[in-house]
């Protein structure tokens, strides 16, 4: 089928499953018995594609919008049936869930006499993904058996055993301890056939008298007590399943378009911005500061700034030449002799060398 001939929309059973009504198989059964109507017409075949424009009702009630995918860990007590309803009237796990929980579905099953971890989800696509054999998640059980087996007795389970013509894959089996007339085993397998562990253990001559599932892939029973429920955080779902349960894509909704940012008003005449057309005619007072005709635009003038590295030369007149002669540096002259410091501190300066032809003067008399 080419893209041109491929019908639009999605299968009605898939849409019901994603909305949390039921699993795909259960949704198909509901369609066949006439519980689903599309656009006011009851349908009896799941071979129908629907789009967001179609109006879907289940038992006369409009189909709710898809919710974000969520996952819960539930400690299933012994004696409850893992189904939405039971033909024998026995209690189901859904009869004992908290009242504030939305409509959920079980991932896989645990038989009536088994207990332990049971995964619950509100999303049919997530349920299908967790149950696919290709996922191959390891499931671990604590198994109490009647008797005291030895290691060789458990070897057929490790190699793979055939029961009533059905071949079971090899299991990981470890003998933990002997407790009186019983023994505790830890069994791990990757397939979930009906009563697989009980049938395989019975084939080697032993009887299971208690079976507790302690993990399902990366999800563990932990400290949960029988009947308790704990929701898995969105971050864990994102890390373990590679999905974001809070995203629009995971919930089946189209992301809302991003709002277009409003353009900021541009002040006319701002640098790099062109003035709006007709602005001066529409609001003349905005430019003049008063009502009336707009002021005439002044012609743009170019301002030139000159810089000088020295003083400009003055005109060569008689006055300027005389001033320059006064300011000009004088020729070198011999420095004058230092003046006498006679009388300073009661001492006379030392006589210097006599000039040629000069007569010696009288020696100064000391004071005091």
* Residue numbers annotated as active site: 111
Beta bridge partners of 43: none
Cα distances (angstroms) measured from residue 284 to each of 119, 266, 271, 281: 73, 17, 20, 6
Distance CA(278)–CA(288), nearest Å, equals: 15
Place of tokens 């349920």: 127
Q: Which of 64, 116, 71, 70 is nearest to 93 (CA)?
A: 116
CA-CA-CA-CA torsion sign (53, 57, 60, 63) = negative
Q: Which of 90, 74, 86, 104 is nearest to 221 (CA)?
A: 74
Q: Which of 271, 268, 295, 266 is nearest to 279 (CA)?
A: 268
Neighbours of 195 (CB within 10 A): 14
Distance CA(43)–CA(45), nearest Å, equals: 6
Hey, is 129 helix, strand or coil? helix
Distance CA(41)–CA(56), nearest Å, equals: 9
Distance CA(229)–CA(97), nearest Å, equals: 8
Cβ atoms of 109 and 119 within 8 Å: the answer is no
Cα distances (angstroms) measured from residue 322 to each of 157, 314, 319, 325, 327: 127, 13, 5, 5, 9
Bridge-based pairing of strands 115-121 and 207-216 is parallel
Neighbours of 78 (CB within 10 A): 15
Distance CA(288)–CA(204), nearest Å, equals: 104
Distance CA(73)–CA(220), nearest Å, equals: 8
Beta bridge partners of 162: 167
């Amino acid at each position: 089928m080419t893209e041109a001939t491929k019908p639009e929309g999605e299968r009605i059973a898939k849409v019901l499953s994603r909305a949390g009504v039921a699993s795909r198989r259960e949704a198909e059964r509901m369609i066949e018995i006439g519980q689903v109507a599309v656009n006011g017409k009851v349908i009896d075949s799941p071979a129908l594609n629907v789009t967001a424009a179609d109006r879907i009702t289940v038992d006369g009630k409009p189909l709710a919008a898809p919710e974000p995918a969520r996952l819960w860990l539930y400690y299933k007590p012994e004696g409850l049936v893992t189904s939405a309803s039971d033909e024998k009237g026995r209690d189901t796990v859904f009869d004992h869930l908290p009242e504030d929980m939305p409509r959920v579905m079980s991932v896989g099953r645990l038989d009536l006499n088994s207990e332990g971890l049971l995964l619950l989800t509100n999303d049919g696509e997530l349920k299908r993904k967790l149950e696919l054999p290709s996922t191959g998640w390891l499931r671990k059980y604590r198994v109490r058996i009647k008797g005291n087996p030895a290691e060789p007795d458990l070897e057929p389970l490790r190699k793979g055993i055939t029961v009533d013509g059905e071949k079971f894959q090899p299991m990981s089996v470890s003998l933990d301890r002997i407790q009186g007339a019983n023994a505790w085993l830890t069994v791990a397998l990757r397939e979930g056939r009906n009563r697989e562990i009980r049938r395989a253990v019975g084939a080697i001559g032993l009887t299971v008298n208690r079976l507790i599932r302690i993990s399902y892939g990366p999800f563990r029973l932990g400290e949960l007590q029988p009947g308790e429920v704990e929701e898995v955080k969105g971050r864990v779902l994102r890390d373990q399943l590679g999905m974001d349960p809070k995203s629009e894509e995971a919930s089946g909704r189209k992301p809302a378009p991003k709002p277009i940012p409003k353009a900021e008003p541009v002040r006319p005449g701002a640098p790099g911005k062109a003035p709006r057309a007709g602005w001066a005619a529409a609001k003349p007072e905005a430019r003049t500061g008063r009502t009336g005709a707009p002021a005439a635009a002044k012609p743009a003038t170019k301002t030139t700034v000159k810089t000088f590295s020295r003083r400009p030369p003055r005109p060569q007149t008689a006055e300027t030449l005389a001033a320059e002669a006064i300011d000009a540096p004088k020729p070198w002259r011999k420095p004058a002799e230092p003046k006498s410091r006679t009388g300073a501190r009661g001492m006379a300066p030392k006589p210097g060398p006599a000039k040629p032809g000069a007569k010696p003067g009288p020696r100064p008399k000391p004071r005091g």
